[in-house]
Structures are given as structure tokens and as C-alpha cells.
Amino acid sequence: MGRIVRTHDQGMRKPEVVVVTGASAGVGRAIAREFGAHGASVVLLARSRDGLEGARQDVERLGGRALPIQTDVSEDLQVEAAAEQAEREFGPIDLWINNAMVSVLSPALRMTAAEYRRVTEVTYLGYVHGTLAALRRMVPRDQGVILQIGSALAYRSIPLQSAYCGAKHAIQGFTESLRSELIHDRSRVRLTIVQLPAVNTPQFSWIKTRMPRHPQPVPPIFQPEVIARSVYWVAHHPRREFTIGLSAVQAILGDKFVPGLLDYYLAAVGYGAQQTHESVDPERPNNLYDPLPGDYGARGAFDDRAAEYSVQAWLNRHRGWLALAGLSLAALSPFFLKSRSPHS
């Protein structure tokens, strides 16, 4: 049975209304499916008409309601219009998930100013536009959740993705500043970030690249459904930030304690780790400015190397109970030791 939220009129109850940007493929598609499986009303925002139709069918097949709206999140007026349509057709938005992104795999010196601008407009400003559209509706009601899909790359940048890493750093700064403002205003609107590891999504088949070999996520790789399950959990359990995957935790901690060492390590391995052994045409079609035709689904081409589960994410979700169990064992240990003493 799906999660139900209470409305303001007469105590009636309704399925929660969830907006997902970048919902046509990859992590966004998996998140849309997860909420659909829990009976939510899911508003699907993306540029791809084919992908949106596939996502709509997925959500409805799994038991949810779906509203696909073709939207380029880099255009604030389009995002605002989508938010208006969402509330007009489904009612007040309970949860807004910012996820849309584009990237370019290229050394910085070979990037153009236009490419930096486009990645920033979608991957950073798209989050700003979505967040503000959600806040305009949630703050007056004094309720709602905004969830940012972040990345370990928000802390530890890697070579060949300077535009994308810069955008993820910007999301982190924007979100932390805004969170303080909401606390200052005593708002009950909740803001959280989920930091991702490498994920097996179709983006590696369509991002623009200037490298000689096919792009790939930096191993270890996780399936997008791993992310979607954690996102659903975090959406309903207050957390300031939630990191998925031991590799993401290691990257964040490594940048905190040994950033200089990581600079040299990534200089040595970062180029090769982001490419397979397969040659690729650098002029292949990409989705930087326009979506590619077709429905790409949630998963990419790396099923054989992608994990279906994250032990670290499970431990992260249950850290409170685990800490309580640890304290309980520590408190009881003197009694066990005394009972085993030969002098007792």
C-alpha cells in the first residue's frame, strides 16, 4: 500500500504527490518507479518525450499515477509552469526531487565556454529552479520535502568532468545556504541531499565525450534501483545528508583528510577508470542540448559489473538502532565478564 499524506480539508487522505526531474531515464526513472510502486502520484519532468512515455507506463503499471510534462529544467519558466500543472492536476506537492543532469567527458582545456554554460544551466541551475518552484508552494503551507540528488563528486572532483563536478559542488553550497535560511525562518520544509556513488545508467551512452574510448562509471558500480530504494527511505526519514556506497564515503573522507594525495592518485588512474577498452566515435550523438530519440530506461550497459545491493546504505539507514545495540552491549559487557569470572 502506498504512503498516504493528510490533506488540510476534513482530514481526508490522498497519495503523496512527488515531482521527479530527469525522470525519463537512469536514476530518475528508477526513483519514479519506486514511488509508483508505493502508490504515489508521480509528476515526471524531462526533455525526452519517448522516455517520459516509458516512465509513465512504468509508474502506472506499478500502481501509481503519472503525469509526464516535457520540461527543460534549465528554463525557469518551464519549471514553474510544470509545478503549476502538477498542483492543478494532482494537488499540493509533498516531495520534489531534483535529479536532472548533463555532462561532458573532456579535459578542461578542450571544453568550450558554451559547454560549461550548458552543464551548469542544467545540472546546477536546474536544481535551483526546481527548488525555488517547490519552495514557493511548500513554504506558505509550512510543509514538504525537497531532496537533491548529489554525488560524492560534490566533495571530491575527478579529472575529465570539471563542468559536472563544479555543478555538484555548487548544488552543495546552494543547499547548505538555503537550509540555514529555512532554519532561521523556523520553516518546517525539509531539505536533504543524497550523495551517490557510481551508478549504471544510460548517461554513459549519450554524454558528450572527447575521449578515445567509451565512457563508463568509475567502479565500483551500483544499479539505479539501489539508489531509488534509499531515496524513498530518506524522503520519509529526516536526514540532513545521506551517502550511498562505501566508495562514496571513502571519496568524501579522503578529500577531507588527504586531498593532495588524491590529486596525484586521480591524475594517475582517473582517465583510465572513466573509459572502457572499447573505442568510441567522439562525434557520436549526445544529449547535451537535445534529448536523443528512444526510451533508454533506468539501467545502462554495465549490468554485469553493477551491484544490486549496498550493505553500507543498509547500515546507514539503521545506524540509530545499530548505535543503540552497541551501547546496550557495552553497558551489559561488565555483567557478562563478571559472571564468567572464576571468583564470582
Which pLDDT score is estimated for 132?
98
- Contact between 215 and 280 under an 8 Å Cβ cutoff? The reply is yes
Distance of CA 241 to the CA centre of its chain: 12
- For residue 292, give the 3-state DSSP assignment: coil
Residues pairing with 177 in the sheet: none
Which pLDDT score is estimated for 283?
82
Q: Return the CATH fold of 4-308.
A: Rossmann fold (3.40.50)
pLDDT single digits (tens) 20-75:
999 999 999 999 999 999 999 999 999 999 999 999 999 999 999 999 999 999 99
Looking at 6-15, 21-30, 98-107, 294-303, which range is the least confident one? 6-15
Amino acid type, 72: D
pTM of the model: 0.91
DSSP letter at 283 equals T
Q: CA separation (Å) from 298 to 148, 222, 244?
A: 18, 12, 18
Residue 191 phi, psi dihedral angles, 5° rounding = -125, 125
- 340's CB contacts (< 8 A; 6+ apart) are none
pLDDT single digits (tens) 220-237:
999 999 999 999 999 999
Please report which confidence band the pLDDT of residue 217 belongs to, taking 50, 70 and 90 as the band edges. very high
- 79's CB contacts (< 8 A; 6+ apart) are 45, 71, 73, 126, 129, 130, 133
- Of 155, 164, 232, 296, the catalytic one is 164
Please report which confidence band the pLDDT of residue 9 belongs to, taking 50, 70 and 90 as the band edges. very low
Q: Where are the domains of the chain?
A: 4-308
Catalytic residue flag (residue 164): yes
Of 83, 98, 99, the closest CA to residue 43 belongs to: 83
